[in-house]
Structure 1
Amino acid sequence: MSNASLPPPRAGYTLPVFACAGAVAALRCLVDGRDRPASVSLDLLNPPQPADIPIDQIAPLPDGSVLAITHSDPGDNLDLTRNTPIWSVVAWGSGDQAEPILLQGGEGVGQQVNRDHAPAIYQYARELIGHSLRPLIPEAKTVRVTIILPEGRALGDRTSNAAFGVIEGLSLLGTSGIAAPLSAPGQLDQSREILRAKAARYGHLVFCLGENGLDLAVKLGIDPDRRVKTANWLGPLLVEAGDLGAAGVLLLGYHGKLIKLAGGIFHTHHHIADGRQEIFAACCAAVGVPLPTIQDVLKAPTVEAGLGILRDRDGAMAQRVYQQIVERIDERAAAYVHAHTGRPLAVGTMVFDRQRQVVARSHLAEGLFNQVLVD
């Protein structure tokens, strides 16, 4: 079957949508015990469109609260949260509750270590739940909403959440209700179309893997229109940029992802390949890091933890290692593009840590950075 005959990749919804739908269903049952909807229609706010979300189970609990259960459907994505259950528990609030809705994170919802272990329930989730529940709350009443992800703790251990300061579970993250299929093969064609349009306007572009890079790019003063969200398709999109004759590409990403390119891995999804600690250890060896430290870096649970080990022992040594990493990414990326296109492409690399602080930038990145700033 040719690619042309394949259906387009199916979009799904982000975790906040399912949590909110469950909360709406539970609140409706709390208000009227006979109202046990099989599905809930929501206004997603961003984008402003409706979504019908199935409610798998709903029941009052002995303490007077109501539990509704949904299951995540991220669409045609390689997403480890697929089919994970989301429990939304709604109860009447206490008499001294000031706000109409008290939103809490239960088991499996991550904790933000840099915010006094507040639940990792971010702005979009809070806005969506508030918008959807307020019209349903009877006058003079308040409600307490608790989101539980029974599988969240185990799934969180398989993500890079800890690198961004979220522990013991998953985040209710996202700025949109739509889970665009960024990991699905059909999405690559859409990303290429976006890249072609931008390359027609600009010679120098910025590749960002995800939301953290896109957000940091703007904070660094980079022209927002030059950003291209690559998801895990870095290799094919670098080749596309080479084919289009782009003058240069600045890679801006989390070091725990981009380090894969230093080892020649150009599709960065963990289902495809990993080897990050091994690549990290090799770059340490290349600049003469003592063997005991290399061994500790190799055994570190994450690249972020390895960076912490280096910084604790010798800040200057850590900087040498990261300079080696970004320069090697540049070399491997340029060689990869040339091997597939026969054309040169200037690639510069900037990597940031979990605090979104730039750790290192290559020599080529210095020049490319100046090319992509807002005029």
Structure 2
Amino acid sequence: MNHSQPRSGYTLPVFACAAAIAAFKYLSENNQPINTVELDLIEPAQTVEIPIEQIAKIQPNTALAVTRSDPGENLDLTRNTPIWAMVELIENTVKTCENQTNIIPEQNEQITLIGGEGIGYDKNSGNSAIYRYAKQLFKENLERLLKPTDRIQITIILPEGRQLAKRTSNEAFGVVEGLSLLGTTGISQPLSAPGQLEAYCEELNQKATQYKSLVFCVGENGLDLAQKLGISPEQTVKTANWLGPMLAAAGLAGIESIVLFGYHGKLIKLAGGIFHTHHHLADGRLEILTAHCANLGLSTENLQTIFQCETTEAALNHLRSLDQNSGSQNLSWVKQIYESIASTIDQRSEAYIRDRVQQQVMVGSVLFDRQRKIIIKSAAGDTLLTKICYSSQNNHLL
């Protein structure tokens, strides 16, 4: 069977920049209709055409343009979300806004970039979550259009940003109250599309020729944290949401042991037998957590609270508050419940591999929270992680 290459799309910074280009052109070209704009992605070095959904002048020197996110064949929660860019022509000096911490001045004072509603901010620095690639994209594309005397202020708005951010792990990495304009490239790789699974399996098979023990990370956040804990990038494999197929592929490749290293709100699904973890396909996180709480004897009142929490992070915090109020580490609900969950993840993962490819692979799990602190290591996860870190530090192969 021939598999066509999944269609890639573009990252959020591309659509935000395209809207800004359109708004500026609308101001400088006397309100001429604009249906598309050309934009240099910089990385990769190619020019693309981005549709403009709406555009209007809202003041004599200010225009607003709207694009919509298209991440390609990827189960991305930002799909079709509107991105607004408001561009204001400034005379003589750059205008500021009341919240100074939400302004990111470019090195070239011609452009001031502001994160508006729906753009998150770093809770440590107070800066908008607009990162290097996005700023470079705006700078290089807009400066080509500006006259030497032009000064503009660009405000990026994601009307659905706050709500969408609740379904991400952004807060684990310090970004709150919205989404980030993040990325190192303009291309949105279809990480959840079937074609990407083949690429992940190829990487896994290559690493299986060197290592008998690997660390599976769902996304970039896990990969980054794993490296900071001393795990060599050569021994980590990104899985995206394809945990089930990747576990089976590891068994076929001769891998002897795997550490599942990830955010608890994602890996908890495996404890319920859900091995494709994208939220579009299956959830059940709070149901799984509530079941483990009930099995260990948590009170009915607290079970109801856990079940009704908006997120697994909120449920974890409730369990932590119970532990703090009890004042006894011997009765730690977090420890008991997450040990049970981690152990179940291990058992179900091993069974998944055994049932599908008739291979015995040892699986351990390590779960961290939104503050990037490890909540629990299963017994197998602790043992395997110690060996992998030791191997990485001493350049030995397992």
TM superposition score normalised by structure 2: 0.85
Aligned to 1:251: 260
Provide closer, same or farther for how the CA distance between residues 371 and 24 of structure 1 changes in structure 2, counting only shifts above 3 A: farther
Q: Residue in 2 aligned with 1:336?
A: 352
Show the counterpart of 1:187: 196
Alpha-carbon distance change, 370 to 46 in structure 1, aligned in 2, over 3 angstroms:
farther
The equivalent residue for 2:374 is 358
Q: Structure 1 counterpart of 2:186, which letter?
A: G
The match for 1:367 among 360, 377, 383 is: 383
Once the two structures are overlaid, the 10-residue window that deviates more, 68-77 or 151-160, is: 151-160
Residues 93 and 151, structure 2, Cα contact 8 Å, conserved in 1: no
1:16 maps to amino acid: P
Q: Distance in 2 between matches of 1:107 and 1:224?
A: 36
Per the alignment, in what secondary structure is the counterpart of residue 228 of structure 1?
strand
Shift of 1:115: 5.0
Whole-angstrom distance in 1 between the partners of 2:365 and 2:57: 54
Structure 2, gaps ≥5 residues long? 95-104
> Is the counterpart of residue 122 in structure 1 residue 131 in structure 2?
yes
Partner of 1:90: 87
Question: Residue 321 of structure 2 aligns with which residue?
Answer: 312
Distance 1:323 1:128 in 2: 45
> 1:227-242 residue pairs with structure 2 within 5 A?
227-242=236-251
Q: CA offsets, 1:314-337, max 9 Å, x none?
A: 054212222222122111111111
Return the letter of the residue paired with 1:233: W
Alpha-carbon distance between aligned partners in 1 of 2:382 and 2:163, rounded to the nearest angstrom: 40
Correspondent of 1:67 among 41, 64, 80 = 64
Identity among equivalent positions (%) equals 51
Matched, 1:106 2:122: no
Alignment of 1:6-25 (within 5 A): 6-25=3-22
C-alpha distance 137-372 of structure 1, shift in aligned 2 (>3 A): farther
Distance apart, 1:245 and its partner CA: 1.1
Q: 2:47 aligns with which of 50, 71, 78?
A: 50
Q: 2:37 aligns with which of 37, 40, 43?
A: 40
Counterpart secondary structure, 1:5: coil
Q: Which amino acid aligns with 1:101?
A: I
Give 1:226 shift. 1.9
Q: Distance in 2 between matches of 1:156 and 1:370?
A: 34
Structure 2 counterpart of 1:88, which letter? A
Q: Once the 2 structures are TM-superposed, how far is the Cα of residue 197 of structure 1 from its aligned partner?
A: 1.6
Q: 1:174 deviation in Å?
A: 2.8
The answer to whether the aligner puts 1:264 opposite 2:261 as a matched pair is no
Distance 2:211 2:47 in 1: 36
Matched, 1:204 2:202: no
* 1:108 Cα deviation from its structure 2 partner: 3.2
TM-score with structure 1 setting the length: 0.90
**CA distance, structure 2, for counterparts of residue 292 and residue 228 of structure 1:** 41
Where does residue 147 of structure 1 map in the other structure? 156
| CA apart distance, 1:305 | 0.3
Which whole-Å CA distance do the structure 2 matches of 1:162 and 1:94 have between them?
A: 38
